[in-house]
Amino acid sequence: VSQALRIGKIRGITLRLHWSWLAAAALLALADSPLLLYLVALMPIVLLHELGHGLVAQRFGLHVLDITFWPLGGFARMSRMPEDGRVAGLVAVAGPAVNLGLALLALPLAFLPDPAGRIAWVFALVNLLLGATNLLPSFPLDGGHVLRALLARRSGWVRATERVVGIGRWIALAMVVGGLLYLNILLALFGFFFWMAGAQELLAVRLRHGLPPFGGMPFGGGRGAAAREDEMRAGEPYSEAPPASGGRRPEESDGAEARPPGAGFSEGDIERLERFPGPLRRLREDP
């Protein structure tokens, strides 16, 4: 069941408005707030950012399901990203690159007489801000994905994920502490959200690689599960399950359920996984 209103389609990608966007727009309209104008004016910018991701993904043969607007921006849903630094990196960098490109294009127009000059200036500034913030090296932001893609070229996907999650935790911590110090609840909430997004990403990647899903994860991420990867390879060999006959996609045979307990998981791991509102649960809810 989709919680978003369908509003159009571009290159086979459905565009949707999330209910929270509609709620925010309704509230702002009721309050007669000028923020409503910003919410609407942001849409084309957000759309171009997400299309940057989406079109590059399509070029690599990935399926892009939809782009959804919500009050804080947008997100594109697509087939699972391959653990390929080039593909994942280019798809991730394409969004912020669109914004930085738009800012560069608009900047010369800022010298036109007002109001055109003023509009161009605000447009350039918003794009610059959007591009730069999204490049912060933390999940779930594009910058986290870009950095992992770069690191993965040397150290492999799991270790690169651990490193980025480690960096992201410092950023998240700084946001929470800063938010509490300056009574900026939104900033603190975002910090918490970043922390959880990193934890979720780490869990998903470790599960996919049949590694112990929890623990061993200081801020630096140096001695995490990846450090144990080699030991596990030496001990109990983990082999990627081949796509079963009958057209089952690899995703369906992925995750802990497809693997007998004990393949890298302790009883405690499995207990915690069942409580974690993450990828494992989502797999179970999939029809």
Catalytic residue positions, numbered: 50
- Whichever of 142 and 269 has its CB closer to Zn ion, that residue is 142
Please give the full DSSP string across 92-132, using - where no structure is assigned: HHHHHHHHHHHHHHHGGGGGSSTTHHHHHHHHHHHHHHHHH
How many residues interact with Zn ion (rule CB under 5 A)?
Answer: 2
The residue of the chain with the least Cβ separation from Zn ion equals 95
Span interacting with Zn ion, options 100-108, 137-145, 160-168, 197-205, rule CB under 5 A: 137-145
Strands, sheet with 13-18, edge to edge from the N-terminal-most edge strand: 4-10, 13-18, 64-70, 73-78
Least distance to Zn ion, CB of residue 88, Å:
13
Span interacting with Zn ion, options 7-15, 134-142, 166-174, 246-254, rule CB under 5 A: 134-142
Contact between 157 and 224 under an 8 Å Cβ cutoff? The reply is no
Q: Restricting to residues 59-118, which ones interact with Zn ion according to CB under 5 A?
A: 95
Binder of Zn ion out of 83, 142, 201, 229 (CB under 5 A) = 142
The tokens describing 246, both together, are: 């009958």
- Whichever of 142 and 162 has its CB closer to Zn ion, that residue is 142
Contact between 121 and 108 under an 8 Å Cβ cutoff? The reply is no
User: In the Cβ-directed half-sphere of 31, how many Cα atoms lie within 13 Å?
Assistant: 11
- Whichever of 99 and 161 has its CB closer to Zn ion, that residue is 99
Least distance to Zn ion, CB of residue 142, Å:
4
Which ranges constitute the DSSP H helices of 135-251?
Answer: 142-155, 157-181, 185-208, 225-234
Least distance to Zn ion, CB of residue 75, Å:
8
- Whichever of 131 and 210 has its CB closer to Zn ion, that residue is 131
Least distance to Zn ion, CB of residue 74, Å:
8
**Distance, C-alpha 31 to centroid of its chain:** 32
Span interacting with Zn ion, options 136-144, 183-191, 233-241, 274-282, rule CB under 5 A: 136-144
Q: Residue 98 and residue 52: Cα distance in Å, rounded?
A: 6
Residues that bind Zn ion (CB under 5 A): 95, 142
